[in-house]
């Protein structure tokens, strides 16, 4: 009996120990209860700092330059007149030819007017007769042999005869056409001996000195123009002549919102014809500007046209510019600070706020970029 009780006690103790082990929830195998080693976090590595990008810069010299305004136009005669008859008749004299120069007052055409000349002679005879009658009436009135009314009637008849003579002379004058100004006969569509109707064209007279270059300027450029300023006119054959701005319209075209301008070109020898296509270049008052290559100009993040430059802290800045002129060798720009270090190489690889390493551009690099546009690059 004692032996049985001992076995039961051992079994009960084992059962209690097993229950306690189950309650702990640790079912790992032997040797696995050791605390797991957490993998060590790698030490945070410092990011390498990128070196500042090298850019080529230049302090461009400032020069006075007049803004160029280029417009398309054409040449026209300073004066143009269509000479026409006022009466019908037979052309008796036509002393002018196409292309011939005439002066003011020169005869251009005369119609046959024998009947009108006879009317003038008749009117002259009548005036002489009425003059004699008026003189006789005046003597009779002064001598008291005739009433004053008789003298008044005689003077009235004389005035009527003089008016008739003036009318006859005016009718004769209508048979003649004279040049109203100095110019060139550009066209003569009639022939001597032919009959012409009243109002028909006899000749076209034009004045080519000065010759006019006519164009339309935009409302944006109107503020830069000044009467009397010099202009360059390039003709279709490549010839460039000088002119003077003599007229600026103050009434814009309703359809184009442009203003008509006239440039007077000296043409004393009449070699420049009217009706030619012409490119007119007008210039404003000179402004402070710099000459730079086209590659320097870029756009800001907001879409503004300008250049990038380096400030005193070697940071990239953006400067809006005003395009003054576009020459074969480069651009003429205004609005750039006098001491700005303008980026001429590498500006497309940097943005505003970047720190850069500016290097002064050598003369050879500048010459390749802009040629003769910048002074001192010869």
Domains of the chain in sequence order: 54-65+287-370 (2.40.420.20), 70-78+208-286 (2.40.30.170), 115-173 (1.10.287)
Cα–Cα distance list, 205 to 110, 184, 348 (Å): 16, 6, 61
Among 378, 369, 374, which residue's Cα sits nearest to residue 60? 374
Whether residue 225 contacts residue 68, with contact meaning beta carbons closer than 8 Å, is answered with no
Provide the mean pLDDT of the chain.
81
Mean pLDDT on 356-376: 62
Note the pLDDT of residue 96: 92
What is the DSSP code (8-state) at residue 1? -
Whether residue 330 contacts residue 289, with contact meaning beta carbons closer than 8 Å, is answered with no
Confidence of residue 24 (pLDDT cuts 50, 70, 90): low
Q: Is 80 exceeded by the pLDDT of residue 364?
A: no
Confidence of residue 109 (pLDDT cuts 50, 70, 90): very high
Confidence of residue 14 (pLDDT cuts 50, 70, 90): low
Q: Is 60 exceeded by the pLDDT of residue 31?
A: no
Mapping DSSP to helix (H, G, I), strand (E, B) and coil, where does residue 29 land? coil
Report strand pairing: 356-360 vs 53-58: parallel
Residue 109 CB neighbour total at 10 angstroms: 24
Q: Is 70 exceeded by the pLDDT of residue 249?
A: yes
Note the pLDDT of residue 42: 54
């Amino acid at each position: 009996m004692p032996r049985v009780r001992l076995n039961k006690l051992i079994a009960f103790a084992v059962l209690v120990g097993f229950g306690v082990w189950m309650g702990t929830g640790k079912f790992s195998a032997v040797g696995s209860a050791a605390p797991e080693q957490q993998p060590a976090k790698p030490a945070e590595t410092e990011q390498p700092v990128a070196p500042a990008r090298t850019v080529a810069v230049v302090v461009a010299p400032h020069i006075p330059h007049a803004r160029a305004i280029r417009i398309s136009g054409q040449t026209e005669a300073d004066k143009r007149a269509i000479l026409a008859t006022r009466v019908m008749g037979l052309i008796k004299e036509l002393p002018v030819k196409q292309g011939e120069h005439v002066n003011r007052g020169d005869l251009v055409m005369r119609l046959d007017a024998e009947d009108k000349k006879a009317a003038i002679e008749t009117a002259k005879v009548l005036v002489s007769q009425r003059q004699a009658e008026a003189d006789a009436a005046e003597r009779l009135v002064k001598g008291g042999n005739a009433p004053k009314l008789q003298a008044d009637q005689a003077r009235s008849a004389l005035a009527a005869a003089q008016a008739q003579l003036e009318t006859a002379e005016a009718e004769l004058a209508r048979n003649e056409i004279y040049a109203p100004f100095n110019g060139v006969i550009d066209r003569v569509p009639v022939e001597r001996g032919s009959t012409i109707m009243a109002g028909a064209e006899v000749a076209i007279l034009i004045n080519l000195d000065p010759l006019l270059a006519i164009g339309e300027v935009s409302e944006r450029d109107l503020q830069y123009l000044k009467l009397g300023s010099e202009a360059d006119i390039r003709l279709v054959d490549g010839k460039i002549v000088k002119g003077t701005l003599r007229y600026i319209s103050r009434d814009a075209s309703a359809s184009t919102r442009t203003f008509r301008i006239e440039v007077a070109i000296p043409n004393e020898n009449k070699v420049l014809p009217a009706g030619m296509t012409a490119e007119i270049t007008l210039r404003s008052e000179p402004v402070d500007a710099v000459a730079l290559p086209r590659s320097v100009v870029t756009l800001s993040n907001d879409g503004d046209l300008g250049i990038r430059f380096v400030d005193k802290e070697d940071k990239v800045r953006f400067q809006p510019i005003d395009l003054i002129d576009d020459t074969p060798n480069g651009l003429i720009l205004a609005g750039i600070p006098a001491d700005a270090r303008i980026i001429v190489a590498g500006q497309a690889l940097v943005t505003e706020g970047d720190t850069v390493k500016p290097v002064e551009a050598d003369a050879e690099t500048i010459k390749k970029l802009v040629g003769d546009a910048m002074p001192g690059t010869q």
